[in-house]
């Protein structure tokens, strides 16, 4: 969970999994990835063989975990879930792999953060469904080859470019997840509101969708906060004025930037005079990990036209000053 939004608690996560789509038909948006994946799965089903390994890349909260679970349910197999940082020793991975049943899906979230020895073990497992288990130490150590059942690896990463070449090459299909359109987010919201048993009108869902940063996870989270407001301060129905009032209360601005996004933007504009500044320096200025700033905040700030990545560092665009309500300095180089 690398989403930097301020209100992701355990309870929220339980609700989140209740809102997950369970089939490709229920999965809203991502027309390209969904169509491609549908074909990959259909082909595999006809041949009666597990499909090629699948890599899903894109910013957090766009539905990579949901898609991995859907792959399992479409194939009628079970999905084992782990993550790159959780695999500390290659022995752990070998044990996980040898416990897979034929056709199982192994989902590795944040696969770009897997340790190198485990990654090397994964190469052979992906290619030949075999792992070498090393027994003993030093000169007496022997590698015992171990057969594993044919399985499908589904890896998730924020950017395919973060993977080493050899690992990336072993995936037969790479799905690039895109931010969702406002219309698609409205569909996600309608479906979630139904599941939560709350009434929402079109203008209400449009208001929430346009502040959700193109991300279903954020849309669902905002929906739950707006629902609280609708039930406590209004008649329980989510309309545009209710959504507006609730989102103002929770400090979500018109573009949907949250506290961390605004801090990053503010530091870039005020502390560093609009840049260029390196991402590591920018991260220190807001007290965050560089990879959080880079993988969580920046993709949306870039998409919103507020920040640009240049070879010399990050720079703010004119729109960034305007968004913060500050006068654009003269002679801004962009």
Residues of this chain that bind ligand ATP (CB under 6 A):
1-3, 16, 19-21, 27-29, 60-66, 109, 156, 188, 216-217, 220
State the minimum distance, in angstroms, from the CB of residue 177 to ligand ATP.
7
Please answer whether residues 296 and 60 qualify as being in contact, where contact means their C-beta atoms are separated by less than 8 angstroms: yes
For 281, other C-beta atoms within 10 Å of its C-beta total 15
* 45 belongs to the catalytic site: no
Q: Which is nearer to ligand ATP, 238 or 320 (CB)?
A: 238
Q: Of the listed 158, 215, 239, 317, which one is catalytic?
A: 158
Quote the least distance from Cβ 141 to ligand ATP, whole Å.
37
Residue of 104, 109, 184, 258 marked catalytic = 109
Q: Which of 168, 211, 217, 262 is catalytic?
A: 217
Residue tagged active-site, from 65, 157, 239, 317: 65
CA distance 165 to 107: 19
Residue with nearest beta carbon to ligand ATP: 63
What length does the chain have?
334
Kindly state the smallest distance separating residue 12's Cβ from ligand ATP, in Å. Answer: 10
**Three-state helix/strand/coil letters over the chain:** CCCCCCCCCHHHHHHHHHCCCCCCCCCCCCHHHHHHHHHHHHHHHHHCCCCCCEEEECCCCCCHHHHHHHHHHHHCCCEEEEEHHHCCCHHHHHHHHHCCCCCCEEEEECHHHCCHHHHHHHHHHHHHCEEEEEECCHHHCEEEEEECCCCEEEEEECCHHHCCHHHHHCCCEEEECCCCCHHHHHHHHHHHHHHHCCCECHHHHHHHHHCCCCCHHHHHHHHHHHHHHHHHHCCCCECHHHHHHHHHHCCCCCCCCCHHHHHHHHHHHHHCCCCCECHHHHHHHHCCCHHHHHHHHHHHHHHCCCEEEECCEEEECHHHHHHCCCCCCCCCCC
Least Å from the CB of residue 30 to ligand ATP: 6
Least distance (Å) between residue 233 CB and ligand ATP:
25
Q: Is 65 labeled as catalytic in the residue annotation?
A: yes
Q: Which is nearer to ligand ATP, 106 or 267 (CB)?
A: 106
Q: Which is nearer to ligand ATP, 216 or 275 (CB)?
A: 216
Which residue, 86 or 146, is less far from ligand ATP as judged by CB? 86
Nearby residues of 240 by Cβ (< 8 Å), 6 or more positions away? 201, 203, 204, 206, 207
Catalytic: 217? yes
Question: Tokens 């995936």 correspond to what residue?
Answer: 171
Query: Cβ closer to ligand ATP: 12 or 120?
Result: 12
Say whether 64 is catalytic.
yes
- Closest CA relative to residue 243, chosen from 261, 222, 259: 222
Residue 34 CA to its chain's centroid (Å)? 16
310 is catalytic: no
* Closest to ligand ATP by CB, 112 or 170: 112
**Rounded to the nearest whole angstrom, what is the least distance from the CB of residue 328 to ligand ATP in the complex?**
35
Nearer Cβ to ligand ATP (3/231): 3
Smallest gap, in angstroms, from Cβ of residue 20 to ligand ATP? Answer: 5
- Positions marked catalytic: 64-65, 109, 158, 217
């Amino acid at each position: 969970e690398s989403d930097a939004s301020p209100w992701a608690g355990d309870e929220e996560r339980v609700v989140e999994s209740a809102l997950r789509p369970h089939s490709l038909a229920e999965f809203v948006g991502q027309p390209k990835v969904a169509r491609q994946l549908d074909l990959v799965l259909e082909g595999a089903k006809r041949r009666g063989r597990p499909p090629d390994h699948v890599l899903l890349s894109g910013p957090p909260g766009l539905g990579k975990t949901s898609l991995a679970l859907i792959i399992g349910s479409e194939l009628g197999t079970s999905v084992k879930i782990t993550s790159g940082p959780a695999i500390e020793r290659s022995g752990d991975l070998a044990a996980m792999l040898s416990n897979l049943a034929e056709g199982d899906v192994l989902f590795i979230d944040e696969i770009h953060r897997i340790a190198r020895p485990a990654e090397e073990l994964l190469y052979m497992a992906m290619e030949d469904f075999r792992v070498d288990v090393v027994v003993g130490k030093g000169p007496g150590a022997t590698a015992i080859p171990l057969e594993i059942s044919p399985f499908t690896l589904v890896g998730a990463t924020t950017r395919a470019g973060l993977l080493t070449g050899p690992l990336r090459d072993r995936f037969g299909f790479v799905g690039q997840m895109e931010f969702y359109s406002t219309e698609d987010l409205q569909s996600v919201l309608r479906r979630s509101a139904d599941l939560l048993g709350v009434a929402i009108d079109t203008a209400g869902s449009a208001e929430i969708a346009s502040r959700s940063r193109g991300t279903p996870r954020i849309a669902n989270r905002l929906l739950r906060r707006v629902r609280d407001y609708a039930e406590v301060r209004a008649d329980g129905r989510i309309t545009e004025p209710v959504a507006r009032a609730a989102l103002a209360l929770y400090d979500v601005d018109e573009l949907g930037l949250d506290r961390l996004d605004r801090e990053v933007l503010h530091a870039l504009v005020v502390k560093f005079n609009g840049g260029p500044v390196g991402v590591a320096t920018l991260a220190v200025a807001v007290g965050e990990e560089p990879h959080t700033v880079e993988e969580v905040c920046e993709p949306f700030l870039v998409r919103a036209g507020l920040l640009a990545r240049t070879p010399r560092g990050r720079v703010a665009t004119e729109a960034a000053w305007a968004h913060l309500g500050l006068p654009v300095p003269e002679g801004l180089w962009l």
